[in-house]
């Protein structure tokens, strides 16, 4: 078993503990959850959003992720926040303002998960026809390019704030982007200062063949999904090909897969819990056992595909979130598997990703 440190994220799933009466609209409960994830030493919490309700009122009901992350940032110190921003239903300028603002109010702990629309129920909520998948991804790629330009439209030292001279900003360090693409024409600049991270950490999940070129060109973090180890290897190889085609280096990207853990004080107790969840309830591979066993299983899983980290879900069972935090996380730390963030760092710092130079700044 490798003992190299891994990055761990937590995927937030409302209603995941039915007997715990978790209420995703209760700010005290969601604060406690985020603080527990931070205490465990995880790098980030991932808030996946939905643009439409599913079967039954609880299926996709949740608070909006930008608002939620802004609130939770005031109650945490180190935890990063990946929020979904859907390029099919947001204009790029709106998304640039939201993401840059979130990075400021979280002191650089924000990440943007780049997603595109994929459902008729969501489309009709926005008075849209449902375009083809190719159109969704084409729009997503161009939108991501625009956000990157808008984040750079203010140089880091554009604000002078000189009381003696009355100079507030240096106009030479504010740059319209003059984007003229297939779908968007945007002048800029953004009306938010450059994010503390320079560029937010951009994440994208592999969900189809069209995901690979988008992730290869735009993503700093790639979520490979909940897959068996052999399928993960296939996805990693396909992503590497997309990364090569985009002229990017593997060292500049962090690869994550998703796993569900069922952990208990003993292997026998964990095995008994396996009988309780519905097989359809957890799509991710399950790792079951006592804390040490599960930690070793996760390390082997990550090593098999050359991953940089894992996003974990607590199984939909009473007490499993607490078990993940109180039993598994300390074992991951003891074995040197958990790359825990430190106070004062940005999400980029915690993921060991460099802050990009501003494309408009004079060399």
**Eight-class DSSP state of 194:** P
- The Cα 175–Cα 330 span in angstroms is 47
Residue with tokens 């939108």: 143
Q: Are 63 and 34 in contact (CB under 8 A)?
A: no
Coil, strand, or helix at residue 154?
strand
- Span 8-52, pLDDT tens digits: 999 987 765 554 567 888 999 999 999 999 999 999 999 987 665
Q: Domains plus CATH for the chain? A: 7-350 (3.20.20.30)
- Angle (deg, nearest 10), helices 291-305 and 229-245: 40
* Total number of residues shown for the chain: 363
pLDDT computed for residue 278 by the predictor: 57
Tokens standing for residue 50: 């939905």
Residue with tokens 């209760």: 26
Nearest to 221 by CA among 251, 246, 256, 259: 256
pLDDT computed for residue 280 by the predictor: 46
Coil, strand, or helix at residue 31?
helix
Tokens standing for residue 189: 């600049």
- The Cα 337–Cα 350 span in angstroms is 15
Query: HEC string of 221-245?
Result: EEECCCCCHHHHHHHHHHHHHHHHH
- Among 55-59, 92-96, 113-117, 331-335, the minimum mean pLDDT is found in 55-59
Four-residue CA torsion sign, 38, 41, 44, 48: negative
Mode of pairing for the β-strands spanning 7-11 and 167-169 = unpaired
Please give the mean pLDDT across all residues of the chain.
Answer: 90
CA angle 103-105-108, nearest 5°? 35
pLDDT(301) > 70: yes
**Eight-class DSSP state of 58:** T
pLDDT computed for residue 275 by the predictor: 82
CA dist list (Å): 249 to 149, 231, 240, 243, 348:
21, 22, 9, 7, 16
């Amino acid at each position: 078993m490798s003992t190299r440190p891994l990055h761990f994220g937590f995927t937030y799933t409302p209603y995941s503990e039915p007997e715990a009466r978790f209420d995703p609209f209760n700010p005290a409960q969601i604060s406690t959850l985020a603080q527990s994830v931070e205490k465990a030493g995880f790098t980030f919490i991932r808030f996946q959003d939905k643009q439409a309700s599913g079967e039954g009122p609880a299926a996709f009901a949740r608070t909006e992720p930008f608002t939620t992350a802004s609130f939770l940032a005031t109650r945490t110190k180190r935890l990063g926040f990946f929020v979904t921003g859907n390029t099919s239903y947001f204009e790029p300028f709106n998304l640039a303002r939201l993401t840059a603002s979130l990075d400021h109010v979280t002191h650089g702990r924000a990440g943007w998960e780049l997603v595109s629309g994929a459902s008729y129920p969501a489309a009709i909520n926005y008075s849209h026809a449902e375009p083809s998948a190719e159109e969704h991804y084409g729009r997503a790629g161009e939108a991501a390019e625009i956000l990157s330009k808008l984040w750079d439209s203010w140089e880091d030292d554009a604000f002078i704030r000189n009381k003696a001279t009355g100079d507030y900003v240096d106009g030479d360090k504010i740059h319209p982007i003059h984007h003229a693409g297939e779908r968007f024409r945007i002048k800029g600049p953004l009306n938010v200062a450059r994010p503390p991270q320079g560029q937010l950490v951009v994440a994208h999940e592999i969900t189809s063949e069209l995901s690979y070129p988008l992730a290869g060109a735009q993503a700093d973090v790639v979520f490979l999904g909940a897959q068996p180890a052999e399928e993960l290897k296939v996805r990693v190889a396909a992503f590497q090909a997309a990364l090569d085609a985009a002229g990017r280096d593997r060292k500049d990207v962090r690869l994550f897969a998703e796993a569900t853990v069922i952990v208990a004080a003993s292997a026998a107790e964990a095995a008994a819990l396996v009988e309780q969840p519905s097989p359809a309830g957890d799509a991710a591979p399950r790792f079951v056992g006592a804390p040490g066993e599960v930690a070793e299983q996760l390390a082997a899983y990550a090593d098999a595909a050359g991953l940089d980290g894992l996003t974990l879900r607590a199984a939909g069972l009473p007490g499993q979130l607490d078990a993940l935090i109180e039993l598994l996380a300390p074992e991951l730390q003891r074995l040197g598997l958990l790359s825990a963030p430190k106070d004062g760092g940005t999400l980029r710092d915690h993921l060991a990703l460099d802050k990009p130079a501003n494309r408009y700044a004079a060399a």
